[in-house]
Amino acid sequence: MSEIANVNKTIWEDFPMADESSYNTNIDISQIYISEQGKLAALNFGRYIGYDGFGYGEGNVNRGITEQEAFDTWDQVFNAQLQVYRRQLRGYNITEIPQSVYDGLMLYFWAVNKIHFVYSNEGVYDMQQYIVDNDWDTVASMIMRSNFNKQECVKAATIIRLADYGKNKSRSWFRTNGIHAMRNNNEATLFTQEELKRARFAYYAETRQFLPFTPESTKRNTVKEYENTLLTNKFLYDGTTNSFTIPKEPSMTPVEKLEVYVNGDLIQNTFDYVLSGTQLLISKTLNDQDIINTVIRI
């Protein structure tokens, strides 16, 4: 269907605009990228689960997965889909687009894997011409009618037309919630054997503690499996340079994944060292032949 009946339209003027500038300011299509708010809203379509093999809903691993691993996998898949979305959007010959519209259309694409078709109870809407014409009222109204992943589509529509991203949970919240879920499900004996095995690893990797009721032999195996995932490096200070290259860029948010030791003593980020990509710069005073050990956690 190329038109939407008046009875099915949303009267957007009845709702407050959350960010006038985001909706009313056009940005060159070659310069625009999804906002941090938009990306976080997309992440909020799922939840971090350490024991199901998917984390945030993407990828597949045999063992338990940390929040960082889950996010990295999700981020890779999301960015790949973002590139597909950008190519499709360029096909409409749009030269400019508001940030909220760009974000909302990407979220709709992420939710249903389509950019201009909307499956509703009354039929299939074709939004292509409305996108070309920048008729965002109609585009958002059609998306509101979606009967597939309804909640996510409503979120996408309100972002498009009202620049309203809502109150999204942070990665720190997801991590904490995921840890509590593993502990609660373990105590309520809700896990299958495979889920329990994954949960024990993920819980230990996130907290360095064992799930209650874990057998001693399983504890030893869990520690060994976790330690095999660590990326360690050793440097010797020669009295000339306090800058060292580590083998991989570690994530430092929402939880620091890099540990730095000088002669066995743990030193602090920002106070004793700073990190830029894979370059580790130690500001703490070093003595000749000091041993620097780094550990990058999953």
| Model pLDDT for residues 128-146, shown as the tens digit of each residue | 999 999 999 999 999 999 9
pLDDT tens digits along 231-288: 999 999 999 999 999 999 999 999 999 999 999 999 999 999 999 999 999 999 999 9
**∠ CA 98-104-108 to the nearest 5 degrees?**
145
pTM listed for this prediction = 0.92
Q: What is the mean pLDDT of residues 3-23?
A: 97
Q: How far apart are CA 142 and CA 6, in angstroms?
A: 11
What average pLDDT does range 55-66 have in this prediction? Answer: 90
- Please give the full DSSP string across 147-163, using - where no structure is assigned: -SSHHHHHHHHHHHHH-
Specify burial of residue 30 (Cβ count, 10 A radius: 0-12, 13-18, 19+).
exposed
Alpha carbon distance 236, 234 (integer Å) = 7
Distances (CA, A) of 138 to 39, 127, 157, 170, 259: 24, 8, 10, 31, 52
d(CA 16, CA 8) in angstroms, rounded, equals 20
189-204 pLDDT tens trace: 999 999 999 999 999 9
Q: List all residues 6 or more positions away from 60 whose beta carbon is below 8 Å from its beta carbon.
A: 53, 54
State how far the Cα of 128 lies from the Cα of 106, in Å rounded to an integer.
14
Q: Which residues pair with 119 in a beta bridge?
A: 124
> Which pLDDT score, from 0 to 100, does residue 226 have?
98
Mean pLDDT calculated for residue range 17-44: 97
Amino acid at site 8: N
For residue 197, give the nearest of 222, 217, 179 by alpha carbon: 222
